[in-house]
A and B are shown apart, each in its own frame.
Chain A
């Protein structure tokens, strides 16, 4: 296959598919009770220098309690799949990130991510490699398929391609240029779900984002769940299992685990608290003050929820049934 062009971006996590197979072979397939706290899950499974990814994104079904714990434990030199909003803004503003495969890090209606700006413009983030949104999801898909790359028609002809680690080849079947994306295998994936049993079988309501792909592309996977359900409920509706237990290393019970983001059908986003972060994120000093208030001076997720306030949280719940 003729290579027509190569992106100049660093391949931050080269796909070693055979090593991934060996890794998957040694992962336990036993039904083990994996329930633990954020503290234990992050301590055991997230290490300095790891390549991590979160799903979905900051204001929507996001593993915020896990992200706060990563900051609390002072993890650093992380390499990051950069598709997100305030969760990634926080990781960046907390100086935890060294390298990033970025597709979008911003605050949506609230504008650019100041964490991203400060860390990239200062050079503290040493490596930035650009991709399109779908490209990151497709890279996970390739890893999930167990193959080293996937052909797509995004990125072609642009500087996005030039600064990515993709390649353009001459398609051996059609003769036309096509873009190859290298598979992305995460050291650790972090996903927040609606329901999981103690073994890690997980269900997600509403849109699934890229949870199915990213879960299968993760060597280690930490699931946080609004609700822990009985194994029988999983077995009663096996088609609802989007993440099977054998992919999962830790199950964390985290009610309001996506706060201040939303969780469809359960609670809406907390605009007041989102705005508080947006404001705080504007400078290094105010960001650190925010981290002190909501992370460093707070021992765990339950204490965080207590700080936010029970009544405040209850007001976010959807009262009318939606389905």
Chain B
């Protein structure tokens, strides 16, 4: 058990980093997924191949990019191309993992980053899909990182920007999306969640340290499935935090 203090952002980064396997490709946006990739590269996944939307393939994440097209996204990369090449590579099935966030998520992992309220006259106009819809459509497995509360985990998102399992089993295939793709995990400050293999509904797999199952359910605005055995996610280790604080995000841009 770690006795070192950590904040919610550090918790999210460490949890997400552990999920990144070695020797594969991951489509990375900015923010927490980026730090998670950098941490993973320094820990158990030195051969993780980060893929950045605007053209960087296989960068070595010595300095943390804060923009998806900046120089650090192709620093010591194996290739620097453009957005068509990168997303076509995803469309051809080369990209195993993709990272996503959103303002709202529903039980099937559908995400909203477009509008809160009515599309025609929105209460809040959000930035838009960006690369999210492409990542959610083409990557084999997506990992969603979000804060966990009832405003975000909703029965029905105001707008489906990015496809999760759409309306349930077979939804993606019916729409024409590539078979066997879809959300894999949701990482939050309260929990780690997956999706039921048949019903495709979000399922609680593990709670974050100090969090109860009841708290997770209370902060979820839809009926949450519960795994038969709900694990307790181990807290960030001293070593993970050291690497995060001393190497990955020295300037504390995020943590």
Contact = CB atoms under 8 A, between A and B. Distances in A.
Interface centre among B55, B81, B83 (most CB of A within 10 A): B83
B83 A163 contact: no
A160 B133 contact: yes
Interface in A205-241: 206-213
Contact of A154 (B30, B70, B71, B138): B138
Nearest to B52: A207
Given A108-B30, A132-B134, A264 B71 contact: yes
Contact of B82 (A106, A131, A211, A322): A211
Given A116-B125, A153-B91, A208-B55, A177 B176 contact: yes
Given A155-B133, A157-B177, A269-B70, A121 B122 contact: yes
Given A121-B125, A134-B87, A210 B82 contact: yes
B49 interface: no
Contact of B160 (A61, A103, A113, A158): A158
B11 interface: no
Interface in B149-207: 159-163, 166, 171-172, 174-178
Contacts of B99: none
A242 B209 CA distance: 52
| Nearest 3 CB-CB pairings of A with B | A157-B175, A207-B55, A177-B176
Given A130-B114, A153-B178, A158-B161, 6 more contacts: A104-B128, A106-B127, A134-B134, A155-B137, A207-B80, A322-B71
22 contacts: A61-B69, A108-B68, A109-B31, A121-B122, A130-B161, A133-B130, A133-B133, A134-B84, A135-B134, A137-B84, A137-B87, A152-B91, A154-B87, A156-B163, A157-B163, A157-B171, A157-B176, A160-B162, A207-B69, A264-B71, A265-B71, A322-B71
Interface of A: 56-57, 59-61, 82, 85, 102-106, 108-109, 112-113, 116-117, 120-121, 123, 128, 130-135, 137-138, 141, 152-160, 163, 168, 176-179, 206-213, 262, 264-265, 269, 322
Interface of B: 30-31, 53-56, 66-71, 73-74, 80-84, 87, 91, 110, 114, 119, 121-134, 137-138, 159-163, 166, 171-172, 174-178, 253-254
